[in-house]
């Protein structure tokens, strides 16, 4: 639905954002016939069943049923609401946004609430920054000096200081913000004992978290002295902040992308690693904020580059846990390389010891994901024992089987031969044997949606699809002659009739403005849009057969209704009249 936006603006927005171009930035597409095909980004599949119709500007997955237009795609792939998806596309196409009107009181209230929370977060960032420069934040300033963070970088990242528990809530209250709004923003908490409001980051050095749109959405904080608490913590998740969907410093990455200087992105774990690398000249850096990478974060990275360096701490045991996150990046078609760091050091340590050159040396030795996985296996086993060597070989062969090319498999097998002393031929046979076992159960065709509809419902779908997708035999067909009893069918039919009456072209992608893209019945109609199913003499004959099915169903319904009336009628003359009509319809039914 348009959410109160002008229809002409939405049409312009869609015309300026080509669906194939946008989807191809997330999922590699290949042209086959009249459509583009790829692996569905919304469910796991090996055989591409995700189709993009370039002419009609909509997508449809024949596996999971996902479908929609360019706005729907951005909403789903970027986890945005409708308005933010529109903003995203308008910014991409450099189209000025009109004044946004909201079609319900509820959505207007939600927008107002979100804006209030963002204002509180922005005010809090200014408050923390002023604290840092107030002369009262000696411990915070000393920490910054000890870590040799320049004043330029401090300003660039908007670092600030929380001095106590009461200052921030008192400041926000003085600006007129309510207790409820302050709590919903996440910057303050309610004390369990006194029930008073307290700064969620009390006493900490503050790191504002800024999203790709340039909004402060949360804060990270670091304790300055020894404590039983965790060194770092984030403000809680809110309506504007979800940790798994954000990356620290993504706002700077966006600026680099716009300036045309971004080639790749370095992903680190924490705030100080990000700041240290940025100050050393590696400005293309973001932090996952201590969590394993998520699918949403992978998609966020994919928006800016196809090349990612993972630079986690040199604690190898910890790096083992990063493999799942790296696989998520790989699934998003991102080229992943892992930066090896000296054992026990993090990127910040490397910069402090070796400066730019020291970290650049690590970056130059970055290894492809599959080599990193081999290294993980290598460090787990003791080669001096026969059992350890055999276990390593078995684990390594599983990794090698994942290689995407024959040349990479051959190279890895040669390395495995040199490490273990087992002949290349033996390793090759074991690899092929293991692959044969795995391949058999994995040959799964893409799951098609189950269809339990009756003939009448299927006929309605085919008639609507024929008109909607412009089949020659259905050109200018008057849908008023068809009685659609399914609500979705009726909605689509009324939409088409309205376009025909006004002389406008029927654009299939406009259906998503009036029907929920997740509707199962719409999905079944879209299933008919691909291939030659709606073309040629056979399809034309089937179209006529569908009309006959509906006509027959209409007559049968009338006969059933008249039979009930006849049985209930006591007036003899009216009974004869109904009987004559039943006879006429019975003859008509036989002639179908």
- What pLDDT does 130 receive? 97
The answer to whether 525 touches 468, Cβ cutoff 8 Å, is yes
Rounded mean pLDDT, 189-204? 91
Is the domain of 292 the same as that of 321? Answer: yes
Range of the domain at 209: 104-241
Secondary structure class of 188 (helix, strand, coil): strand
Mean of per-residue pLDDT scores for the chain: 85
For residue 236 the two structure tokens come to: 């809680």
Is the domain of 393 the same as that of 480? Answer: no
Q: Is residue 99 included in any domain, yes or no?
A: no
> What is the Cβ-side half-sphere exposure of residue 106, based on CA atoms within 13 angstroms?
0
The answer to whether 548 touches 541, Cβ cutoff 8 Å, is no
Phi and psi at residue 28, to the nearest 5°: -60, 125
> Would you say residue 589 has pLDDT above 70?
no
> Would you say residue 383 has pLDDT above 60?
yes
Q: Is residue 261 included in any domain, yes or no?
A: yes
- What pLDDT does 532 receive? 67
Is the domain of 48 the same as that of 150? Answer: no
Is the domain of 16 the same as that of 76? Answer: yes
Q: Is residue 85 included in any domain, yes or no?
A: yes
Q: Which residues contact 475 (CB under 8 A, 6 or more apart)?
A: none
Is the domain of 491 the same as that of 535? Answer: yes
pLDDT band, residue 191 (cuts 50/70/90)? confident
The answer to whether 186 touches 236, Cβ cutoff 8 Å, is yes
Residue for token pair 């919304």:
42
Q: SS in 3 state form for 200-269?
A: CCCCCEEEEEECCCCCEEEEEEECCCCCCCCCEEECCCCCCCCHHHCCECHHHHHHHHHHCCCCCEEEEC
Q: Which of 218, 241, 264 is the last residue of a domain?
A: 241
CA distance 547 to 399: 57
Q: What is the pLDDT of residues 282-305, one digit of tens each?
A: 999 999 876 678 888 888 898 889
Instruction: Indicate the range of 316-320, 350-354, 468-472 predicted with least confidence.
Output: 316-320
> Would you say residue 363 has pLDDT above 60?
yes
Q: Which residue has the higher pLDDT, 588 or 562?
A: 562
- What pLDDT does 174 receive? 96
**Number of neighbouring beta carbons within 10 Å of residue 113:** 15
Q: Count up the domains in the chain and report the number.
A: 5
> Would you say residue 180 has pLDDT above 90?
yes
> Would you say residue 449 has pLDDT above 50?
no
Domain CATH code at residue 287: 3.40.1360.10
Q: Is residue 1 included in any domain, yes or no?
A: no
Q: SS in 3 state form for 106-162?
A: HHHHHHHHHHHHHHHHHHHHHHHHHHHCCCCCHHHHHHHHHCCCCHHHHHHHCCEEC
Please state whether the predicted TM-score (pTM) of the whole model is above 0.85.
no
Q: In what order do the strands lie in the sheet with 30-32?
A: 30-32, 35-38, 50-53, 58-61, 67-68
The answer to whether 284 touches 309, Cβ cutoff 8 Å, is no
> Would you say residue 243 has pLDDT above 80?
yes
For residue 336 the two structure tokens come to: 């992943």
Q: Is residue 449 included in any domain, yes or no?
A: no
Q: What is the pLDDT of residues 13-59, one digit of tens each?
A: 988 999 999 998 888 899 887 789 998 888 877 788 899 998 889 99
Q: Which of 212, 241, 270 is the last residue of a domain?
A: 241
Domain CATH code at residue 61: 3.90.580.10
Is the domain of 81 the same as that of 160? Answer: no
- What pLDDT does 444 receive? 31
> Would you say residue 321 has pLDDT above 80?
no
Q: Which of 419, 442, 465 is the last residue of a domain?
A: 442
Is the domain of 490 the same as that of 571? Answer: yes
CA distance 389 to 422: 10
pLDDT band, residue 159 (cuts 50/70/90)? very high
The answer to whether 491 touches 515, Cβ cutoff 8 Å, is yes
> Would you say residue 586 has pLDDT above 70?
yes
Q: Which residue has the higher pLDDT, 174 or 82?
A: 174
Is the domain of 577 the same as that of 474? Answer: yes
**Number of neighbouring beta carbons within 10 Å of residue 447:** 13
Q: Is residue 179 included in any domain, yes or no?
A: yes
- What pLDDT does 103 receive? 52
Is the domain of 195 the same as that of 315? Answer: no
CA distance 169 to 191: 12
Pairs from 216-219 (Cβ < 8 Å, separation ≥ 24): 216/118, 216/121, 216/122, 216/124, 216/125, 216/158, 217/118, 217/121, 217/241, 217/246, 218/121, 218/186, 218/243, 218/246, 219/121, 219/124, 219/125, 219/128, 219/187
Phi and psi at residue 30, to the nearest 5°: -130, 135
Q: What is the pLDDT of residues 537-585, one digit of tens each?
A: 888 888 888 888 888 877 777 777 878 888 888 888 887 887 887 787 6
> Would you say residue 497 has pLDDT above 70?
yes
The answer to whether 243 touches 256, Cβ cutoff 8 Å, is no
Is the domain of 201 the same as that of 171? Answer: yes
Q: Is residue 88 included in any domain, yes or no?
A: yes
Q: Is residue 489 included in any domain, yes or no?
A: yes
> Would you say residue 463 has pLDDT above 50?
yes
Q: What is the pLDDT of residues 325-355, one digit of tens each?
A: 788 888 777 889 999 888 888 899 999 999 9
- What pLDDT does 443 receive? 34
CA distance 387 to 56: 60
> Would you say residue 425 has pLDDT above 60?
yes
Is the domain of 108 the same as that of 237? Answer: yes
CA distances from 422 to 380, 403, 426 (A): 19, 20, 7
Is the domain of 355 the same as that of 291? Answer: yes
- What pLDDT does 471 receive? 86
Domain CATH code at residue 177: 3.90.980.10
């Amino acid at each position: 639905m348009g959410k109160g936006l002008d229809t002409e603006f939405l049409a312009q927005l869609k015309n300026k954002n080509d669906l194939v171009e946008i989807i191809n930035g997330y999922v590699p597409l290949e042209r086959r016939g009249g459509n583009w095909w790829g692996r569905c980004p919304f469910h796991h599949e090996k055989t591409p069943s995700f189709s993009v119709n370039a002419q009609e500007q909509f997508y449809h997955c024949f596996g999971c049923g996902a479908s929609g237009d360019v706005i729907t795609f951005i909403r789903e792939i970027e986890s945005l609401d409708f308005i933010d998806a529109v903003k995203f596309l308008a910014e991409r196409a450099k189209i000025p946004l009109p004044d946004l009107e909201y079609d319900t009181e509820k959505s207007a209230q939600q927008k107002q609430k979100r804006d209030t929370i963002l204002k509180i977060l922005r005010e809090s960032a200014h408050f923390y920054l002023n604290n840092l420069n107030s002369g009262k934040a000696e411990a915070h300033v000393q920490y910054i000096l000890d870590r040799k963070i320049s004043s330029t970088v401090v300003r660039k990242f908007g670092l600030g200081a929380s001095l106590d528990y009461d200052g921030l809530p008192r400041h926000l209250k003085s600006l007129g913000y309510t207790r409820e709004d302050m709590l919903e923003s996440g910057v303050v908490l309610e004390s369990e004992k006194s029930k008073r409001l307290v700064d969620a980051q009390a006493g900490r050095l503050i790191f504002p978290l800024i999203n790709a749109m340039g909004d402060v959405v949360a804060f990270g904080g670091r304790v300055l002295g020894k404590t039983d608490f965790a060194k770092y913590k984030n403000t809680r998740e809110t309506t504007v902040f979800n940790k798994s969907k954000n990356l620290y410093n993504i706002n700077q990455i966006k600026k680099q992308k716009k300036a045309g200087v971004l080639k790749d992105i370095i992903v680190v774990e924490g705030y100080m690693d990000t700041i240290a690398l940025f100050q050393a000249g590696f400005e293309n850096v973001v932090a996952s904020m201590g969590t394993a990478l998520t699918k949403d974060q992978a998609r966020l990275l994919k928006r800016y580059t196809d090349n990612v360096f993972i630079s986690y701490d040199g604690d190898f045991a910890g790096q083992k846990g990063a493999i799942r996150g790296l696989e998520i990046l790989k699934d998003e078609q991102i080229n992943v390389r892992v930066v090896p760091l000296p054992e026990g050091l993090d990127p910040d340590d490397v910069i402090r010891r070796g400066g730019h050159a020291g970290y650049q040396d690590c970056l130059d030795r970055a290894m492809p994901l599959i080599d990193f996985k081999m290294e993980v296996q290598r460090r787990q086993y003791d080669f001096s024992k026969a059992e350890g060597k055999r276990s390593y070989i078995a684990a390594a062969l599983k990794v090698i089987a994942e290689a995407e090319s024959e040349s990479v498999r051959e190279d890895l097998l040669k390395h495995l031969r040199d490490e273990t002393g087992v002949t290349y031929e033996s390793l090759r046979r074991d690899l092929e044997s293991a692959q044969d076992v795995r391949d058999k159960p994995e040959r799964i065709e893409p799951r098609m949606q189950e269809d339990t509809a009756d003939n009448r419902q299927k006929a309605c779908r085919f008639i609507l699809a024929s008109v909607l997708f412009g089949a020659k035999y259905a050109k200018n067909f008057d849908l008023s002659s068809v009685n659609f009893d399914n609500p979705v069918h009726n909605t689509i039919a009324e939409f088409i009739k309205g376009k025909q009456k006004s002389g406008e072209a029927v654009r299939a992608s406009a259906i998503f403005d009036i029907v929920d893209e997740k509707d199962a019945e719409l999905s079944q109609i879209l299933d008919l849009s691909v291939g030659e199913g709606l073309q040629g003499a056979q399809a034309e004959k089937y179209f006529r057969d569908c009309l006959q099915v509906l006509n027959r169903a209409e007559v049968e319904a009338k006969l059933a209704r008249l039979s009930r009336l006849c049985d209930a009628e006591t007036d003899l003359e009216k009974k004869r009249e109904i009987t004559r009509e039943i006879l006429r319809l019975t003859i008509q039914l036989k002639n179908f």
